Amino acid sequence: MTSSRFIFAIALSSTLVHAQCYYPDGQEAPRDIACKPDSEASACCAEGYICLSSGMCQFVEYAGTGRFARGSCTNQDWSSSECPNFCTDAEGEQAGGTDVTRCQGYTDRFFCPRSQNANVCKDVEKALTFSETTSTGKDEETSTTASTSPNETGPADKDSDSGPTPALLGGAIGGSIGGFLLGGLSVWLIFFLRKAKKDALDRSRVVPEVENGYKDGTLAPKAEMSAESVPAELPGYTVDDRTRQE
């Protein structure tokens, strides 16, 4: 009997500390945590998010930059005013958490991207207006993630007015210039090496010239007779006197 009471006390304590959260369709949100577990009803957010007094959840890493979501509630039928009763009309929004986008140029206006577009931001009657964006006193690291999954919600997008930081922009420009210079240097180097190779090949095909102005092996100079040569005499013969007298 004592053992049964002890087990029941543990179960009750666990229920009080970790109140069960539910999506708008009544299904459990097992990964969500109540923002105010001691209250009769409370909005819930998933781990990694903070609970805002407006009932929204904000991703901790991007706190202050506009990454929001609508989570779940400890009231299963969502009849309590403590439940985040917004962004529940579109198909799929009932079965889980969903993104909530802050209107560009505003700090207190939001819209549901799955059922609305940014044009509603101009109409204060249609846009979601939350004057308070402070976190609640309980667990500033809990919230819901917006997702199409029926069991958990996924992270919402950043503000539509957010853009690339100067560091990223400078890095992109620097990388582009560096790539352009490197490409140009590579082209010049290839052209230079090819030209040097061609010049070397052309030089190897040129026939060297000798001092007399003729290309070696083409013409040979004519030989001249020596100026000191003496003409050879013909052999003579003797004429006797008788022949001379006749």
Residue 128: which of 114, 154, 108 has the closest Cα? Answer: 108
The first and second tokens of residue 139, run together, are 């667990």
Distance in angstroms (rounded) separating the CA atoms of residues 135 and 139: 9
The first and second tokens of residue 153, run together, are 């919600």
Per the CB < 8 A criterion, the answer to whether 97 and 146 are in contact is yes
pLDDT in tens, 18-43: 689 999 999 999 999 999 999 999 99
- CA dihedral sign, ordered 109, 53, 43, 31: positive
The first and second tokens of residue 205, run together, are 């095909």
Per the CB < 8 A criterion, the answer to whether 189 and 92 are in contact is no
- Which amino acid is residue 20, in one-letter code? Q
pLDDT of residue 233: 57
pTM of the shown model? 0.48
Q: SS3 string of the chain? A: CHHHHHHHHHHHHHHHHCCCCECCCCCECCCEEECCCCCCCCEEEEECEEEECCCEEEEHHHCCCCCEEECEECCCCCCCCCCCCCCCCCCCCCCCCEEEEECCCCCCEEECCCCCCHHHHHCCCCCEECCCCCECCCCCCECCCCCCCCCCCCCCCCCCCCCCCHHHHHHHHHHHHHHHHHHHHHHHHHHHHHHHHHHHHHHHCCCCECCCCCECCCCCCCCCCCCCCCCCCCCCCCCCHHHHHC
- Which amino acid is residue 240, in one-letter code? D
How many angstroms separate the first and last alpha carbons of the chain?
190
pLDDT in tens, 130-143: 875 566 544 444 33
CB atoms within 10 A of CB 22: 19
pLDDT of residue 199: 72
Q: pLDDT category, 195, cuts 50, 70, 90?
A: confident
Segments making up each domain of the chain, as ranges: 2-129
Farthest CA pair distance, the chain: 190
The first and second tokens of residue 70, run together, are 């609508």
Is the pLDDT score of 243 beyond 80? no
Is the pLDDT score of 78 beyond 90? yes
Residue 33: which of 22, 42, 46 has the closest Cα? Answer: 46
